[in-house]
Amino acid sequence: MHQIIRLTLLICLGLALCTCQDSSDTGLRAATQSRDGSAESDRPDYALVIHGGAGTILKENMTDERAAAIEAAMNAALDAGEAVLRDGGSAADAVEATIWVMEDSPYFNSAKGAVFTNAGINELDASFMTGHDQNAGAVGGITNLKHPISAARAVMEKSEHVLLTGKGAEEFAAGAGLEVVDPAYFFTQERYDALQRALAGEKVEQEKVDVDKKHGTVGCVALDKDGNLAAGTSTGGMTNKRYNRLGDSPIIGAGTYADNATCGVSCTGWGEYFIRYAVAYDVHARMAYAGASLKEATDAVIHQTLVEKGGTGGLIALDARGNVAMPFNTPGMYRGYLKAGGEREVRFYEE
Ligand code: ASP
């Protein structure tokens, strides 16, 4: 009799253990499953996404040589960021390394290759944010720093402020040891000609090259092996801008945002709209408060909110599970991403 009771107890215990094991498995999956269906276990070791600006980017207006040069620059930027992430470097280091490559390239409207103001100079804006602590830094209207993105990061890490502008920002960045250049370094004939056309009252149109008013801002979001996100954006703003105009790019919450709990975002487009609709923060908020997936949140902001209001542009975003979103409501956006394991894509047009 005792043996029967002991056997029954053992069977019950065994069943209980199995059930328990099953439900804890399911619980784990349920707890880590996101709305777009990806699970924590799917998370790549690292991921990186970039943009090089949104606008009237059309295949028929692009020469093969120019397309190849832009594609090469974007791949070089992705390579620089991947080298950091593959070695176990931080998302912040990857964002900075990636954006340096694009800032150094004359094909993008950031640092070398920046558009000209009405006064015929280059005024640069940038911002930086880390997702694990919501720390952020930004600079606006600077004229002599080779890498504005590093100035934004220095404001974040080495000052008690978030946004510095003009001469003060330059003085701070030089004091932080950043490379100072002669403003002539930023000159490119193409952007200068675009200003001359704007000044002549011509409508700046897409000709054979991509030189409209606000193309080529660069941005990057990275996810590192520790699951941390970081985001950065760097731009020359809009051709023919006046009165120390600042767009969304140096405004945290408008052009850039990062929170490990949701995503990292970098925007490009008509800055005034991105400021008014707090675009980068809105993506985060939709995920945080409404439980939207990355795709739902980014599509709603770019294809609904902005379209309804007349704001043109796009954004790149990456969530903590390595999901990538790159929506835009213009004819094209220079964009690309990679994930650990070899997945990589660089695209220009709507596809
Ligand atoms: N958003 C930038 C600005 O308004 C320009 C751009 O992204 O093309 O300054």
- Give residue 27's domain range: 1-36
Indicate if 12 and 93 belong to the same structural domain.
Answer: no
Indicate if 122 and 22 belong to the same structural domain.
Answer: no
The CA distance from 196 to 201, in Å, is: 9
pLDDT classification of 25: cutoffs 50, 70, 90: very low
Indicate if 8 and 142 belong to the same structural domain.
Answer: no
Indicate if 77 and 190 belong to the same structural domain.
Answer: yes
Question: What is the domain-level CATH number for residue 57?
Answer: 3.60.20.30
Is residue 27 classed exposed, middle or buried when 0-12, 13-18 and 19+ CB atoms within 10 A define those classes?
exposed
Indicate if 8 and 47 belong to the same structural domain.
Answer: no
User: What pLDDT sits at residue 59?
Assistant: 85
Tell me if 271 CB under 6 Å of ligand 1. yes
Taking only the tens place, the pLDDT of each residue in 232-246 is 999 999 999 999 999
293: phi then psi, degrees, rounded to nearest 5: -75, 170
Indicate if 150 and 14 belong to the same structural domain.
Answer: no
Tally of structural domains, the chain: 2
Select from 187, 209, 195 the least CA-distant residue to 55: 209
Indicate if 8 and 87 belong to the same structural domain.
Answer: no
Q: What angle do CA 164, 298, 335 make, to 5 degrees?
A: 75
Tell me if 234 CB under 6 Å of ligand 1. no
Which of 1-15, 46-60, 253-267 bottoms out in mean pLDDT, i.e. has the lowest? 1-15
246: CB partners within 8 A, 6+ apart: 125, 140, 141, 165, 237, 271
- The number of the ligand 1 atom at minimal distance from the alpha carbon of 55 is 8
Mean pLDDT of 125-141: 98
The CA distance from 183 to 161, in Å, is: 25
Sheet holding 313-319, edge to edge: 256-258, 263-269, 313-319, 324-325
Tell me if 239 CB under 6 Å of ligand 1. no
User: Chain-wide mean pLDDT for the chain?
Assistant: 89
Q: What is the DSSP string of 117-143?
A: PTTS---EEEEEEETTTTEEEEEEEES
Q: In the predicted model, is pLDDT for residue 294 greater than 70?
A: yes
Does the annotation mark 235 as catalytic? no
Indicate if 71 and 184 belong to the same structural domain.
Answer: yes
- The number of the ligand 1 atom at minimal distance from the alpha carbon of 238 is 9
Select from 342, 246, 335 the least CA-distant residue to 298: 335
Indicate if 8 and 57 belong to the same structural domain.
Answer: no
Indicate if 19 and 107 belong to the same structural domain.
Answer: no
Indicate if 26 and 84 belong to the same structural domain.
Answer: no
Q: Which residue's CA is the closest to the ligand 1 atom numbered 7?
A: 268
The CA distance from 324 to 336, in Å, is: 10
Indicate if 74 and 27 belong to the same structural domain.
Answer: no
Taking only the tens place, the pLDDT of each residue in 266-293 is 999 999 999 999 999 999 999 999 999 9
Q: In the predicted model, is pLDDT for residue 51 greater than 60?
A: yes
pLDDT classification of 63: cutoffs 50, 70, 90: very high
